[in-house]
């Protein structure tokens, strides 16, 4: 075979080999990468949002989230009830009474703190959807928030996070008038609506006439936990009033 023709065959075979090798390398590359892609750096920022950390309190064992049935408070207090919460046209159901630091037995209150005792009005208003009374916000900060070791901002941030952890059963979200209720039925509804919550980690309280509060025990990381001392305060009546808004 002439030398020129042989050289052309060798060159053609080399080009075919290069093409095949390139194809095989492309098939080996992970889907979605390009030849210029570099492996993600371990220091590269994660584009997905991360939940903000839960403020860590200190000097106590756990929290109680107290959810008050607002129409019961308004009915019990009558003309002396807080107007921000109970004035005509207000339609609150369960609201936050407080987030209370607890010992396994007993609880701290009115603690010394480097934080201000007063709460700015603008800060209190930010909680108005879950704590409609600014006076209640100030009272809860002074009596309970001062004992958490947290700043005001962290304490109020934690209150909202705690509320988000507890699902109110759908049958009890609206402050409508209803027949007498069995506190145990309400407790069971909360347990069913909140996986991980057990009957020994919740208390439904009442007074002589009305169902008053649902108290849920939470760890400092806002997970459900048992709390025998709090549970012992559960209402023992078989039926109580759970009024609606006027």
Beta strands in the chain, from DSSP E residues, in sequence order: 62-69, 94-102, 202-206, 211-218
Q: Does residue 75 belong to any structural domain of this protein?
A: yes
Measured CA to CA, the distance from residue 108 to residue 223 in angstroms comes to 21
Return the pLDDT at 50. 63
Measured CA to CA, the distance from residue 75 to residue 23 in angstroms comes to 79
The total of structural domains in the chain comes to 1
What does the DSSP assignment read for 177-222? ----B-HHHHHHHHHHHSTT--GGGEEEEE-SSBEEEEEEEE-TTS
Return the pLDDT at 57. 84
Q: Does residue 1 belong to any structural domain of this protein?
A: no
Return the pLDDT at 246. 61
Return the pLDDT at 177. 85
Return the pLDDT at 122. 96
Q: Does residue 17 belong to any structural domain of this protein?
A: no
Q: Is the dihedral of CA 23, 28, 34, 35 positive or negative?
A: negative
Residues facing residue 205 across a β-bridge: 213
Which residues in the chain show pLDDT less than 50? 5-7, 10-12, 19-21, 23-24, 26-43, 45
Return the pLDDT at 46. 52
Q: Who's near 211: CB < 8 A, 6+ residues apart?
A: 69, 72, 181, 183, 186, 204, 205, 235, 240, 241, 242
Angle between helices 152-165 and 134-143 (to 10 degrees): 110
Q: Does residue 243 belong to any structural domain of this protein?
A: no
Return the pLDDT at 51. 63
**Which tokens is 45 given?**
């920022």
What does the radius of gyration of the chain's CA atoms come to, in whole angstroms? 31
Model confidence over 31-90: pLDDT tens digits? 444 334 444 444 454 555 566 788 878 899 999 999 999 999 999 999 999 999 999 888
DSSP 167: P
Q: Does residue 236 belong to any structural domain of this protein?
A: no
Return the pLDDT at 53. 81
pTM: 0.78
Q: Which domain holds residue 186?
A: 62-231
Q: Does residue 6 belong to any structural domain of this protein?
A: no
Return the pLDDT at 41. 45
Domain containing residue 166: CATH number: 3.90.730.10
Residues noted as catalytic: 97, 140, 144
Q: Does residue 14 belong to any structural domain of this protein?
A: no
Q: Does residue 227 belong to any structural domain of this protein?
A: yes
């Amino acid at each position: 075979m002439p030398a020129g023709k042989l050289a052309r065959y060798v060159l053609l075979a080399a080009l075919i080999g290069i093409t095949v090798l390139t194809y095989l390398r492309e098939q080996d590359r992970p889907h979605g990468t390009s030849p210029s892609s570099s492996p993600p750096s371990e220091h590269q920022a994660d584009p997905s949002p991360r939940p903000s950390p839960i403020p860590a309190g200190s000097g106590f064992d756990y929290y109680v989230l107290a959810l008050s049935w607002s129409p019961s408070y308004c009915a019990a207090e009558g003309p002396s009830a807080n107007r921000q919460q109970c004035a005509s046209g207000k339609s609150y159901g369960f609201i936050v009474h407080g987030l209370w630091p607890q010992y396994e037995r007993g609880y701290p209150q009115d603690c010394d703190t480097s934080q201000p005792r007063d709460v700015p009005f603008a800060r209190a208003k930010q909680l108005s959807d879950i704590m409609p009374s600014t006076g209640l916000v100030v009272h809860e900060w002074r009596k309970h928030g001062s004992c958490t070791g947290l700043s005001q901002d962290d304490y109020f941030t934690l209150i909202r996070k705690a509320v988000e952890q507890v699902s109110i059963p759908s049958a009890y979200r609206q402050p409508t008038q209803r027949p007498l209720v069995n506190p145990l039925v309400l407790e069971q509804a909360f347990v069913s609506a909140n996986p991980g919550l057990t009957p020994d980690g919740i208390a439904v309280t009442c007074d002589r006439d009305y169902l008053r509060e649902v108290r849920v025990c939470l760890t400092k990381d806002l997970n459900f936990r048992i709390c025998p001392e709090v549970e012992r305060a559960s209402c023992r009546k078989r039926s109580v009033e759970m009024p609606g808004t006027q």
